[in-house]
Structure 1
Amino acid sequence: MEFLAEYAGFLARTVTVVVAIVLILLVVAVLRQKGQRSSGHLSVRKLNEFYRELREHLEDSVLHKDQLKRQRKAEAKAHKAEQKKPVDKPRVFVLDFDGDIKASATEQLRHEVTAVLSMAQPSDEVVVRLESGGGMVHAYGLASSQLARLRDAGLPLTVCVDKVAASGGYMMACVANRVLAAPFAVLGSIGVVAQLPNVHRLLKKHDIDVEVLTAGEFKRTLTVFGENTEKGREKFQEDLELTHQLFKGFVSRYRPQLDIDKVATGEVWLGLSALEHELVDALQTSDEYLARRANEAELFQLRFINRKSLQERIGLAASVAIDRVLLGWWERLLQQRFWQ
C-alpha cells in the first residue's frame, strides 16, 4: 500500500509537469500566431532539380563505375560551359489545383496567380495541373476568373488534366490556350444540376405545419419543408437554364472551335473521345509534358501555403485520422464484396 501511495504521488507530479509544459507550449504558439501578420507563405520548388535527382539516382544504381565517372565528368564540363555563357531559358510556372465541391483551393490559386503576374514575362508559360469534378457555380466561376487573369495578361496558359476536369473543372480548363489530357481522363459535363429533398407530405401526415414567409415573389422557389408549387418549379428550372446558357457562353468564348450545342449536354467524355469533340488539344499526361519542358526551360512549382491556427491544425489532424479510418473500412468492404 505504501508503494502504491508513493507511485500515485509520483504519477500525479508527472501528469502535473506534462500538463504545465503543454499549457506553456500552447501559450507560446498563440503568442507567435498573434505576432505573425501574413496569412501564409509562397513555397517555390525548382522541378529541374527534381528531375535531375531522379536521373542521377537511377544512373548511380544502373551504370558501371567507369560509365558513371565519364557521365559525371561530361555533366560537369557542360555545367561549366553553361556558367561561362549563360543562356536565358524560358520559365515555366507550375500550379496545382485539386478541386472539391466548394473549389476551396481557389484561395491558394489567387495568391499563386498574383505572384506569377508580378514577375512573369510574355516568353514564360504557366502550367496548371487541374483535377476537379466540379461543384458550386459561383465558386468555380471565381476559380476560372483567376486563370482568366493569366490569359488576359498575355501569358501562355496550359492546363493538364490527368484524371478529371468536369463541370466546374472544365469551366476552368477551357480558359487555357492549350488543354492536355491523359487518354482516359474524364472531361466535359457542361451542364447544371440542382436537387433537394422535400419532406412536406411527411410533416403534414404528422400534423406539423411549416410556414415559409418571403418578401418578393421568387425569393424562395423550391423548399425542403414547405409545399412546392408548379410556378416555383418553373422558376427554378428557368434559373437553371439561364445558368446553363451562361456556362455555354463562357466555354464558347475561350474555345470557339467547339460545337457548343453538341457538347453542352451534360455528358462526359474520356480523353480519346474528348479530343475528337475538340474539348482538348492533345493527349498527353502532365508528367510527359513537364519532363519534356524541363529539357528546354526552367520549371518552378509554386504553392501558397496558408498558415493555420493551432485549433485548425488539431482539427485537421483529427479529420485526416477519421478519413483514413473510414477509407480503410470502405476499402475492406469493397475487397470482401469483390472476392465473395
Structure 2
Amino acid sequence: MNSEWIEQLNRWHNEEEYERIVKQIEQVPAVERNYELTGQLARAYNNLERYREALELLLSTASEGQDDYAWHFRLGYAYSHLAQYDKALTAFEQANRLQPEDEYVQEFLSSIRPYAHTMEQDRQRYEQETALWKQQHGEQLPFSSFDLSDFWEDSEYAVKDHIEPPFDEEMIRSIEQELGYKLPASYIALMHTQNGGFPARTAFPTAGATSWANDHVAITSISGIGGQKSYSLTGDMGSRFMIEQWGYPDLGIVFGDCPSAGHDVIMLDYRFCGPTGEPAVVHVDQENDYEITYLAPHFEAFICGLVDAEELEI
C-alpha cells in the first residue's frame, strides 16, 4: 500500500464511491491489511449501512485506535446506527477529547445523549422486571401458567402469507444463523402451537403515548420460524428486509407487524443481553425517527401482556 493508493481511496470517499472502496480493499487478504486500510474499509462499510461489519473491523484494531480520533468517530457512528447509544456516546466523547469542538462530533453528542439516557432507563427496567419475573415464575417452562388455546385468530390471509409449516431443530439453527441471534425459548414454544399468524389479542399497554394511541401499541401479526412465507422471520418481507430496506435499527429481530403496514414494528431487542441472551421486546417507530419504546423484559411477558384492543383507548 502506498500514499497514492490511499489518496485514491479518499477521492472515492469524497465522491461517495463506497462500493469501489470496498471492492478495492477486499482484494487484499485480511491478514495483510494494516491499521489504516482496515479503517478505510470500516468507514466504507459504515457509509454503506453495513454497520455490523464495520463494528467488527473497528473492534479488531481497538488497541491501535485508542488515541485516534477517526477510530473513535467511526466506532461511535457504527454503534449509533445499531442503537447502542451508550457505547456510541462513550466513543464520541473520546473523539471529542482527542479533537475538541469538532462540529460533527458535537452534532452526534447532542443528538445521542437523550437516547443514551433513555436506554439506561430501559436497561434498569429490563433488569428489574427480569428479576421480578424469575422471582414469581422460577424456572418453569414457557407459558406453563398461560392458556394459548385461543391465542391465534383464524385467517385465510395468514395461511397464505404468514403461517409456516412445522419446523425442527435444524430449521431453528438455520434461522438463528441467518439472523445472527438466538431465538428465545418462549418464541419457539409459541410457534409450536401455530407457526406464525394473527394474534386474537392485538394491544399491548404502555405507560405513555405512542404513535398509535395514548396508552398502547398494536400488533397485527407475528412472524413464523421459516422463510417460505413473505412475513416469516427470514421471508422476503421478514426481519432482515425491514432492517436493510426500511432502515430499522439492527438491534435484534423484527417479529411483529403493526397496523401502519411497516411504519412501526415490534422487535426482539438484544442490546442488554447479547446475541445469545434473553432479549427485551420494544416498539420501533419509523415515523418518529425510529424511536424505541421499551415494552417487556422478554417475549413471554409480551405475549402474556397482550389484551383486546377494545379495552384500551384508540
Q: Do the structures match in fold with TM over 0.5?
A: no
**Bigger relative CO (Cα 8 Å, ≥ 6 apart):** 1
What's the TM-score, normalizing by structure 2?
0.24
Return the TM-score normalized by structure 1.
0.22
